[in-house]
Chain A
Amino acid sequence: MTELHFSDVQRDCLQELVNVAMGQASDKLARYLGTFVHLQVPSIALVEATLLSQHFANRYQQQSATLVSLGFFGDQGLRGETIMLYQLANAGVIARLLGYSDDAVSEAEMLTDISSVLTTTFLSGLAEQLENSFSYAAPRILSSRDQYFADKLAYTAEQWQLALQVDIRYQLTDYSFNCDMILLIPGEAVLRLRQTLDNILAEF
């Protein structure tokens, strides 16, 4: 596991890139949604994938949560999967945010829509920062209305060596909701990511 760890400099560099990508995403989303979007500077943490499920099980205790997964693939072997976690209570807020009201839309569709908007907007910014570009798989709901989502998360996380945990809080002028995003990155892609970070650091 040790060879997958990041040095402090690498970690700071990644945090900075995430900040920039998040800032761009926030700007784009505000324009698109026609409301002021504030994305707090996210705190990132690199955690072993096996520890993730317990962390989120505690945070979403006693609440029905939904997990939406979206895979991404870049050049030079950089790839991974994002998982968005929502409280189901937020579904109504999300619906208003996306302007769903004029036609019948399932909750599942609403959640996959908002997930793909939020994650791809952020990820395409991040890809740009990493001088890469991503293609995306369609979002999938891993679990919904399920108190035992921690098991599902544990099962998904098992397949990945390292998880970049990005806590995002979305605040909008008229609406407020928060959700969590987790970036799961497999071992060999972590090595690629580190190499890219070293290249960026060398340019300064």
Chain B
Amino acid sequence: MQLDWLLQPLLTQLNTGVLVLDAQYRVVFFNQFIARRAELDLAKVQGNLLEDVFADLPIAWLKRKLDSVLHLQVPAFSSWEQRQYIIKLAHLRPLSSDSQYMAQNCSMLPLTAPDGVSRYICLLIEDATDAYVYQQQLQQSVMQLEHANRTDGLTGVYNRRYWQQQLGYEIQRAGRYQHPLSLLLFDLDKFKDINDQYGHQGGDFVLVELSRLIGSLLRDTDLFGRYGGEEFGVILPDTGMTGALQVANRICDTVARHKMLYNQQTLKATISIGVVSYFDQSIDELIRRADTALYCAKRQGRNRAVVYQPELEGYLKKVK
């Protein structure tokens, strides 16, 4: 049975781009897939150089690939994941893809004419736009998940798990490079009273409002997290005791002066802060010391920052 007639309709219908070049990289043939998407007429451009037919080709890169196909007589490949497209072609997902051009997988195959001498290269171009779109969506979802996974749902600061993990990393870094590192642990004063007076929604409002306020006082490198309930922590990398106490006092003063408007009522709140600097303690010990200092700040009358000192341990025992 004679099958030659199949070739033309198949090439026309094929959902893959077929582009044939001669050994001088002149365009010999392309099928409808390419003609339609590049809006080209084969008869008009046949015999022209590849780079004159298709605009903005990565020509140095492409020629290196084509050279290897020609000289080694082995195929070469290009994946959309590494190079999104070679030839600027329209795709069939104009609405769902954020890219103007078709993402492409391309195989470049060596061909020899029946004369046994003339060499050609066939480029097969497959549309990978769907895979590209899915991957973009996937990446976006992963980013959203990562964000949700480290954020406290109410206040938008880091959640306890992520914050504590970062504290572990910062301790390692400070220990390795001998950098200073300090930690603030603070607590809203008499939060129960706020909740009783304004309801839990009022309490939540205060937590959100103060998180935003305190966040605006910190550097980009500081790590602000919700430790639990109305207790928060701030990791201050590259900060010694003096700097940490300055930050703590500034936070304390700013919060005490800040007026919040809730249901036509003006609210004020204060916080107590425990300050500790890192000197080879374990993460648990560092948090325990910050907690001790915080407890002392409360005992000393609230609305203040207290720096941890070993003497505080005795003070703690006495008042207990």
Contacts and interface: CB of A to CB of B under 8 A. Distances in A.
Nearest to A139: B77
Interface string A97-138: 011101101101100110011001100100000000000101
Given A103-B60, A105-B61, A112-B77, A117 B72 contact: yes
A32 interface: yes
Nearest to B74: A120
A121 B72 contact: yes
B75 A120 contact: yes
B60 A124 contact: no
B228 interface: no
Contact of B75 (A32, A105, A136, A140): A136
A31 B105 CA distance: 28
B107 A109 contact: no
Contact of B71 (A28, A108, A113): A28
Given A112-B82, A136-B75, A138-B77, A32 B68 contact: yes
Interface in B41-95: 58, 60-61, 64-65, 67-68, 71-79, 81-83
Contacts of A140: 79
A192 B85 CA distance: 39
B73 A138 contact: no
Given A108-B82, A109-B82, A109-B83, A32 B77 contact: no
A177 B83 CA distance: 26
Given A98-B64, A102-B60, A138-B105, A116 B75 contact: yes
Nearest to B77: A138
Contacts, number: 53
Given A32-B68, A103-B58, A138-B105, A112 B74 contact: no
A139 B61 CA distance: 17
A29 interface: yes
Contacts of B105: 138
Given A99-B64, A105-B61, A112 B79 contact: yes
Interface string B196-226: 0000000000000000000000000000000
Contacts of A108: 81-82
A83 B209 CA distance: 57
Given A106-B82, A108-B82, A109-B82, A116 B60 contact: no
Contact of A29 (B58, B64, B72): B72
Nearest to B58: A103
Point out which of B67, B71, B81, B82 has the most chain A C-beta atoms below 10 A from its C-beta: B82
Interface string B9-40: 00000000000000000000000000000000
A83 B255 CA distance: 61
A75 to B, nearest CB: 17
A94 B73 CA distance: 20
Contacts of A28: 71-73
A79 to B, nearest CB: 16
A29 B68 CA distance: 9
A138 to B, nearest CB: 4
A138 B74 contact: no
Given A109-B83, A138-B79, A116 B74 contact: yes
A124 B74 contact: yes
Contacts of B67: 32
A95 to B, nearest CB: 12
A99 B60 CA distance: 10
Contacts of B61: 103, 105
Contact of B72 (A32, A98, A105, A112): A32
Contacts of B68: 32, 117
Contacts of B65: 113
A29 B73 CA distance: 11
Contacts of A99: 64
A22 to B, nearest CB: 14
Contacts of B76: 113, 116-117
Contacts of B75: 116, 120, 136
25 contacts: A29-B72, A32-B67, A32-B68, A98-B64, A100-B64, A103-B58, A103-B60, A105-B61, A106-B82, A108-B81, A108-B82, A109-B82, A109-B83, A112-B79, A113-B76, A116-B74, A116-B75, A116-B76, A117-B68, A120-B72, A120-B75, A121-B72, A124-B74, A138-B78, A139-B77
Interface of B: 58, 60-61, 64-65, 67-68, 71-79, 81-83, 105, 107
Given A136-B74, A138-B78, 7 more contacts: A103-B60, A109-B83, A113-B65, A116-B76, A124-B74, A136-B77, A138-B79
